[in-house]
Structure formats: structure tokens, C-alpha cells
A = this chain, B = another copy of it.
Amino acid sequence: MPSPLGDKIRARRIQLEMSLEDLAIATGSSKGYLWELENRDKANPSADKLIKIAAALGVTTEFILDESPEVEPEASVLDEAFFRRYKKLDSKRKDKVQKFLDMWEDED
């Protein structure tokens, strides 16, 4: 009896071709616990774990917490997650990223 929260974590993890151990390392958790989150019906992680898992999976915490069982994060959700990371970059790195966009937009 997996929870929608667990289904989303597993689906996204597999989509990124990560093992439980990969995710455990990326999020500073034990893989045993991550397995429980994905497969046990009472999944109730702490804010701290939630934030780290969402970051490692490149999705928003909102997406993971949402009760509706859509396992495929719609593109907009992924974009928002990216944007939150982007905003934290220093300006030099932001410029680097923008250079890529300039280049790509010139291609077509």
C-alpha cells in the first residue's frame, strides 16, 4: 500500500535512473528509510527530508506533497524547480547559462 507521496518519489527516482542508495547519498538519508517512504502506506517525512528529496529529484516540495496521484511531473513543475535553483546562482554563473540560451536560440 504505497502512498501517492511514495509513488511520486519512486517514479521520479527511476526516471532519473537512481538507485535507492544513490538517492540516500544525495539526500543524506538511509536507503532503508527511503524504501519505507516509497513502499509503506504511512509515509510522513520531515520538512528537512522533504526539502532534500525534492532537491535531489529536481521537483518542488509542493509536487511531492500534493495528494493527487499523478506520478509524471508535468513540465511546468520541473521548470519551476529548476528556476528556484537558478535564482540561487551567483551572477557570473547566471551569465554563463544565458550564453547557452543565446547560442541555441541563434541555431534555429
Chain A positions within 8 Å of B, measured between CB atoms, are 5, 43-48, 50-51, 58, 60-62, 65-68, 71, 75-76, 78-79, 82-89, 91, 93-94, 96-98, 100-101, 104-105
Contact = CB atoms under 8 A, between A and B. Distances in A.
17 contacts: A43-B47, A44-B46, A45-B46, A45-B47, A46-B46, A47-B65, A61-B61, A68-B84, A68-B87, A68-B88, A79-B86, A79-B87, A79-B94, A86-B86, A93-B104, A96-B100, A97-B100
A44 B49 CA distance: 9
B58 A86 contact: no
Contact of A47 (B5, B60, B76): B5
